[in-house]
Amino acid sequence: MTAVEDPAAPDTPVQMAPAKEVGQARRRKEDARLITGETQWTDNIVLPGMLHMAMLRSPVAHARITHLDVSAAKDRPNVVAVYTGADFAEEQGSLPCAWPVTPDMVNPGHPSIAVDQVNHVGEAVAVVVARTRTAAADALEAIDVDYEPLPVVLDMEQAVQAGSPLVHDSISSNTSYHFVFDAGEAGTGADTDQAFADAEVTVSRRFVQQRLIPAFMEPRSVVVQPTRDNYTMWSATQIPHVLRVMAAMVTGIPEHKLRVIAPDVGGGFGGKLQVNPEEILALLVARRLGRPVKWTETRGESLMAAHHGRDQVQFIDVAADREGNVKGLRCRILADMGAYLRLITPGVPVLGAFMFPGIYKFPAYRFECDGVFTNKVPTDAYRGAGRPEATFAIERIMDELAAELGMDPLELRRKNWIGAEEFPFTTVAGLEYDSGDYAQATEQALELIGYDELRAEQQRRRESNDPVQLGIGFSTFTEMCGLAPSRVLGSLAYGAGGWESASIRMLPTGKVEVVTGSTPHGQGHETAWSQLVADQLGVPFEDVEVLHGDTAISSRGMDTYGSRSLVVGGTAVVKAAEKVVQKARAIAAHLLEASEDDLEFTGGKFSVKGTPGTGIGIQEVALAVFAAHDYPEGIEPTIDAEATYDPVNFSFPHGTHICAMEVDTETGFVKIRKYASVDDVGTIVNPLIVEGQMHGGLAQGIAQALYEEAIYDADGNLTTGSFVDYLLPSAADLPHFDTGNTVHPAPGNPIGAKGVGEAGCIASTPAVVNAALDAVRHLGVTDIRMPLTPERVWRAMHQGGDGGDRAAATSNAQGVTSSEAATASVTEGDQQ
């Protein structure tokens, strides 16, 4: 991927209005209905005659279905139908994978419901349709299935070995693709092997990015209403527009006969950037029965069957000279696809491929990635999608290089990062970083956290051999946001564009409807878009309503992911507003009997230059064109406008995160003492929303470092199948966050925004791990596997290594997890 060089991009410069609203910490206008439960979530939707679906899911990871009898389930009360894969084999097609990252990528196809083989625990094998949700759940127990077990493939490093059992018999190995980016070959850098051959110092590490579960708050839910040959689908999705196109292609329902609505959606984090098997099944069942159907997953189903994230084994080599000048970077990645390729499964590691060099001036770089099939639920986008993996690897290995060289980790970073005067900077990976000042962010963060004091305390604790040691960890990161220039996506073989659409409707009373193709699921688009439009049109914030998430209302859209909404979707809104002003100017000039050139537009009012106080407001123009009694010849009587914006480059938020960590050397317990982050996300439209995004992102990034891990046992069962065992932190477990910002507006869009949705999640994970290691490195610890459970930290201190593999550690154990245990032995007479 190279930065877009074509200056003739269809991007006319837009003048931003004076910022009255932009920059205000407006409380989010959507929150009142969300937090009082007054909104309508998908699962609240009740339609006359609506039926309920429940899925029977495979309890085994890899098997042939040798017998499947649903007749008894059909006889259960209130059951209307029971379907198996055989019932839909001819019409279900394959779930889409939109990103064939290499020309020879192998995609085995992905049925929505298994036909004769299951490839991961949780795969649907039968669907019960009943008049009530409880009847559907009850009838699942009457379905009889026999499985003939096949060897289970779980470990990527074993899966790629010759002779490994195969996940899919139909293909010759467990490797889906081999993706390579070589800066030498691309002409963006020197020869990597030569750089390593010449290097004075090399450091190599193997890092494990554990498997994570997006764990959004609102479970997935879908309702489909068929009306003869028209279909309306409500879904708790991030991507109603993409879903509509894909569902039409999969099911053969003509696109114009399918309307998709995402009502208020309770979180996604990438987990709802998907075309789900259950969404397709709901369409197939509704079409078969001609009745509305609903499916809402349980939390257990969500953790087991919704796509997971991360899951990479990273082999990273860095080359440098003795003075600490970096010379080369080499990454070899194994990325766990799971059993199938879902919407952008193979593309997630590729999104990270260009970010491994981080903010450093590597002269040489090579990246290779194998996408590997295993008998686990597929992976796909999860907050950051590719960039956290890259950021973790580079920020961790910079600390390891610093240790090898005996240098201060911050000094090593300073020596190698891109200087503020060097922007725009084309990296060894071919990206053009837009703007920023890494030194400024770092200085500010050091001050925020009270760095010198912490270092002094660390020294005291070391000298007194305090059982609680203190460590300080850095992450000086950048990421790639504003997905994405369509032509770049095309060059990477992605199946769609990266533009966004917006339209503005001026109502007769002067009120404003903004229709956006960016579909929010918690981000606060309604508030931020209202602030943008209030400034651009000079109308009150309260006069703006933002409409979204319904393909019948917002016909074009690319939806919300990749920190793209404000950068791309917000720019489309600004451009649409500019068109509204242009159209209104012609009408106003006519009404004021003046030349358009003589008009100025300030504070929502057109007036003849030099005669302030007179003139006509844009809201009055809206009424004038509604009446349409008096408007110029040759133009249409409307000032509504639409714009589609295709970005010319990515945007590159950056920042410096510093974590101070206490490690209890007696127990291995780690506790964040202080956390400071200074982020440059460009121009800030709403500081309150930005801070909220930072806090949430930090919580998730810290959670990867300390708490979250999806674990499968040796048979391929998800052991962390509930929130008892898949640990999410609460506010009680997280420190106070000291957040700050520097502002270097993104030059690529008129707002100057860079994106903030993923920054905290991307940056924080390595800062936390680096901090823990800094606390115990003097005890001989050089790595601890994530999440940093107390036991792992303790074992790394007392037994060496990285603390070990939790799944392996317990595979032969008698022990059971708390939830299972509670269960297994609820005996008679127990009083609970």
Partner 1 sequence: MIPAAFDYARPTTVEEALQAIAEGGDDVKILAGGQSLIPVMRLRLAAPEVVVDLTRVEGLRGVREEGDQLVVGAMTTHADVLTDPLLARYAPLVVEATETVADRQVRRRGTFGGALAHADPAGDLPAVALALDAEFVIAGPAGRRTVPAAEFFVDYLTTAIEEGELLVEIRLPKLAADDGWGVRYEKFNRVAQAWSIVAVAAAVRREGGRITEARIGLTNMGPTPLRASATEAALVGVDVSLETVTAAAAQAAEGTSPSNDLNAQADYRQHLAQVLTRRALAAAAGL
**Which residues are near partner 1 by CB under 8 A?**
133-134, 137-138, 141, 298-300, 666-667, 669, 707, 711, 719-720, 724-725, 727-730, 732-733, 789-791, 794-795, 806, 809-810, 813-832
Residue type, 1: M
CB of 376 to partner 1, least distance (A): 17
Main-chain phi, psi angles of 50, to 5 degrees: -70, 135
**Nearest distance from C-beta of residue 798 to partner 1, angstroms:** 9
Query: For residues 235 and 247, is the Cβ–Cβ distance under 8 A?
Result: no
As measured in angstroms, the least distance from the Cβ of 308 to partner 1 is: 17
Q: Which is nearer to partner 1, 643 or 699 (CB)?
A: 699
Is the CB of 187 or the CB of 829 nearer to partner 1? 829
The contacts found for 811-816 with CB under 8 angstroms, 24 or more apart, are: 811/713, 811/714
Retrieve residue 162's tokens. Answer: 């010759």
The single residue listed with the structure tokens 């193997």 is 206
CA 473 – CA 764 distance, rounded (Å): 10
Query: How far apart (Å, rounded) are the C-alpha atoms in residues 127 and 485?
Result: 40
Residue 386 or 803: which CB sits closer to partner 1?
803
* Inter-residue contact 111 to 92 (CB < 8 Å): yes
Nearer to partner 1, 142 or 351 (CB): 142
Query: Is 511 or 695 the residue whose CB approaches partner 1 more closely?
Result: 695
B/e letters for 709-728, b = 16+ CB within 10 Å, e = fewer, are bbbbbeebbbbbbbeebbee
Minimum distance between the CB of residue 728 and partner 1, rounded to whole angstroms? 8
CB of 72 to partner 1, least distance (A): 16
Q: Which residue has the tokens 């952008």?
A: 344
Q: Is 193 left (phi over 0), alpha (psi -120 to 50) or beta?
A: alpha
Check if the beta carbon of residue 174 is closer than 8 Å to that of residue 180: no
Residue 297 CB, nearest distance to partner 1 (Å)? 9
Judged by beta carbon, residue 626 or residue 723, the one nearer partner 1 is 723
The answer to whether the beta carbons of residues 298 and 134 sit under 8 Å apart is no
Residue 245 or 305: which CB sits closer to partner 1?
305
Instruction: In angstroms, give the least distance from the CB of 669 to partner 1.
Output: 7
104 vs 828, beta carbon nearer partner 1:
828
Structure tokens at 196: 């390593």
Q: Residue 336 Cβ, how far from partner 1 at the closest point, in Å? A: 19
C-beta of 129: minimal distance to partner 1 in Å? 16
One-character DSSP codes across 49-69: T-EEEEEEE-SSSSEEEEEEE
* Token representation of residue 548: 């979204």
Shortest distance (Å) from residue 537 CB to partner 1: 46
Q: Are 165 and 61 spatial neighbours (Cβ–Cβ below 8 Å)?
A: no
Please give the full DSSP string across 591-615, using - where no structure is assigned.
HHTS-GGGEEEETTEEEETT-TT-S
Pair 81, 285: CB distance under 8 Å: yes
Q: Which is nearer to partner 1, 202 or 722 (CB)?
A: 722
- Residues paired with residue 577 on neighbouring β-strands, in sequence order: none
Close Cβ partners of 239 (under 8 Å, ≥ 6 residues apart): 262, 272, 273, 274, 519, 559, 560, 561
Minimum CB distance to partner 1, residue 722 (Å): 8
d(CA 653, CA 436): 8
The DSSP code for 15 is: P
User: Of 160 and 727, which has the nearer Cβ to partner 1?
Assistant: 727
Tokens of 734: 């997280």
Element (H, E) at 556: none
> Closer to partner 1 at the Cβ: 404 or 725?
725
Cβ distance to partner 1 smaller for residue 423 or 723: 723
End-to-end CA distance of the chain: 59
Asked if residues 678 and 760 have their Cβ atoms less than 8 Å apart, the reply is no
- The distance of closest approach from Cβ of residue 721 to partner 1 in the complex, given in angstroms and rounded to an integer, is 9
Q: Beta-carbon neighbour count of residue 796 at 10 Å?
A: 25
Identity of the residue, 29 or 795, whose beta carbon is nearer to partner 1 in the bound complex: 795
Min separation Cβ 794 and partner 1, Å: 6
Cα(461)–Cα(450) distance, integer angstroms: 17
